[in-house]
């Protein structure tokens, strides 16, 4: 089965450090989403890309978060500097969005990156 791969699975870091999370989406999917999940806020959409171009990053704190897709096989989410309130599970998901093909608009999620900022 094709799957979305996220690294690292777990990351513990100290406040102020840079954190980079990586995602390998499913080949052939045209859209990649980044979500953050916490107990208090649930699943929040941070940003998404279509064909590698950023379409919406309005859910991201712009001063410290950045998301890029340097090529079709890699999406990155970077936090610099990290803060304790960034502690959460970060999910990447990919899908074939905006087409009429079977399975369109359904997302496949990675297993998540659990970030703890001390």
Partner 1 sequence: SQQGEEDPQALSIQEGENATMNCSYKTSINNLQWYRQNSGRGLVHLILIRSNEREKHSGRLRVTLDTSKKSSSLLITASRAADTASYFCATVQGGSEKLVFGKGTKLTVNP
- If one asks whether residue 42 binds partner 1 (CB under 8 A), the answer comes out as yes
Locus of tokens 């064909």: 51
**Only segment of 19-27, 63-71, 77-85, 107-115 that touches partner 1 (CB under 8 A):** 107-115
Locus of tokens 């950023």: 54
Q: Which of 26, 65, 94, 110 binds partner 1 (CB under 8 A)?
A: 110
Q: Which of 31, 65, 79, 88 binds partner 1 (CB under 8 A)?
A: 31
Instruction: Report the helix count and the strand count for the chain, using DSSP H and E.
Output: 0, 11
DSSP-derived secondary structure for 11-60 = EEE-TT--EEEEEEPPTT--EEEEEEEETTTEEEEEEEEETTEEEE-TTS
Region 45-74 residues binding partner 1, contact defined as CB under 8 A:
45, 48, 50, 55-56
Residues that bind partner 1 (CB under 8 A): 4, 31, 33, 35, 42-43, 45, 48, 50, 55-56, 91, 93, 97-98, 105-112
């Amino acid at each position: 089965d094709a799957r979305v791969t996220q690294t690292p699975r777990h990351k513990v870091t100290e406040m102020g450090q840079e954190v980079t999370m990586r995602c390998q989406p499913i080949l052939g999917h045209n859209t990649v989403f980044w979500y953050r999940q916490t107990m208090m806020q649930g699943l929040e959409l941070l940003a998404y890309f279509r064909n590698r171009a950023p379409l919406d990053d309005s859910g991201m704190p712009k001063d410290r978060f950045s998301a890029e897709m340097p090529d079709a096989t890699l999406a990155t989410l970077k936090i610099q500097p990290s803060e304790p309130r960034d502690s959460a599970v970060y999910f990447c998901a990919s899908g074939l969005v905006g087409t009429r093909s079977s399975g369109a608009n359904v997302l496949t999620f990675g297993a998540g990156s659990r970030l703890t900022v001390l």
